[in-house]
Amino acid sequence: MSESQSPLNIGIAGLGTVGAGVVKMLQQNAALISARCGREIKIISVIAGNKNKDRDVDLSTYEWADSLTAMAQDTRLDVIVEMIGGSEGQTKEFVEEALKNNKHVVTANKALLAHHGYELAQLAEKHNVTIAFEAAIAGGIPIVKSIREGIAGNNITSVYGILNGTCNYILTEMREGERDFNDVLSEAQEQGYAEADPAFDIEGIDAAHKLALLGAMAFGVKPDFASLDIQGITRLTLKDIKIADELGYRIKLIGMARQEGVDYIQAMAPCLVPKSSAISGVEGVFNAVQTQGDFVDKTMMEGRGAGEGPTASSVLSDLVDLAKGNFVPVFGVPTNQLNTAQWQGPENLTCACYINCHVKDEVGVVSDITSCLKENNVSMDSLIQKGHEQDGSKNIVIVTHVASYKSIKQAVGSLANLSNVLDSPTLIRIENI
């Protein structure tokens, strides 16, 4: 084997589901991968929290690194595969040390990059290496390569995505099984689709980490997780899902990053999307990302958003690129060309909305609601009344015409103060994507 064909030597830190999956894939498809790369991708060392844990994969031929620092400083290694997780502490220090020692980093760690991506990209450039993170967004979907390279000739004006399989699974099961949120969440935990503490998923934080990275690549700006407006799915009810279905919509947790003139808007929130749209048909644990470019128009990619196989596949795609000597700046352009975006919240959108008011079933309630909307310059496209409960309540559901989202939110705030409105009204944007 000539010098140009010497192996790409890697160290793997973290041997959980994905880390072990990377080992399995390299072992099972070794000949195929070597043929496609023109060289071997060779595991030299591994490290994880528990050396003796059964991971259903043979690790006997690999060295066990003494520490993360020792792995980061190992002069034999070309690439560190970081599968530890976490955005601070030892993980951040480990990645920094690897970059300082002129090693490429391949990671699935969206939280680390959402919070520290710009600074880490600067460090990578200083040492002529890169951070590859295909596995950090949407599991097995090659969306990073698509945005950063495939449609790089386009002015990308928007990115929309279903970016969390747990939430999509819950919403799908609620609708198809006519089941309540808590019931489906418990089942998702039992089946391993949701963590014991599911807050990062169901509150939209995990998906927002991914959206921050998508927006950075799409628009050539610094990732800015702190400016993201984030809503999860915990307030959604089966009633909302059924009514939306009757109206011709499905409710999805949608990440949106959009260019509006010189400003950019990014938000993570449940949205109503028309049943006729491609993204509405993405169900269960699947993810999807839709982009809009000036020449390519709309593109959409769909696939499994998590799990050993899909995520390991994305890790391998990055390793194959590095084995071929192909790497680009972390966010597509050098860090000195990344702009600081003037991110705006969804209040700056104009859109139609769904409003569900739980009210006392009494004379004058509809008049009071329409007055609140009128006072805030919001007009109704439709109004329906659902149910007459034994406790003397009902639901009044309004679909607004397109208006300022800020005005619609103000109107909903006024509705919440009405004496005949029993709970805070549910407000959901309608996205015609």
Q: Annotated active-site positions, please?
A: 210
Length reported for the chain: 433
Q: Which two tokens stand for residue 400?
A: 């607004």
Angle at which helices 308-323 and 30-37 cross, to 10° = 30
Distance CA 132, CA 323 (A): 12
Q: Which two tokens stand for residue 238?
A: 């089966």
Distance CA 338, CA 331 (A): 8
- For tokens 């909305």, what's the residue? 353
Residue 14, classed as helix, strand or coil, is coil
Q: Are 160 and 370 spatial neighbours (Cβ–Cβ below 8 Å)? A: no
| Span between the terminal Cα atoms of the chain, in Å | 52
CA 156 vs CA 137, 163, 297: distances in Å: 18, 19, 9
Which 3-state string (H, E, C) describes 130-186?
CEECHHHCCCCCCHHHHHHHHCCCCCEEEEEEECCHHHHHHHHHHHHHCCCHHHHHH
Distance CA 95, CA 41 (A): 20
Q: Are 135 and 17 spatial neighbours (Cβ–Cβ below 8 Å)? A: no
Q: Rounding to the nearest 10 degrees, give the CA dihedral for residues 428, 348, 281, 243.
A: 20
> How many other CB atoms are found less than 10 A from the CB of residue 5?
11
Residues in CB range of 369: below 8 A, 6 or more apart: 357, 359, 396, 398, 415, 418, 421
> How many other CB atoms are found less than 10 A from the CB of residue 175?
18
Q: Which two tokens stand for residue 308?
A: 């050993």
User: Could you give phi then psi for residue 159, rounded to 5 degrees?
Assistant: -135, 130
Distance CA 54, CA 59 (A): 10
Q: Are 137 and 223 spatial neighbours (Cβ–Cβ below 8 Å)? A: no
Q: Residue 27 corresponds to which amino acid? A: Q
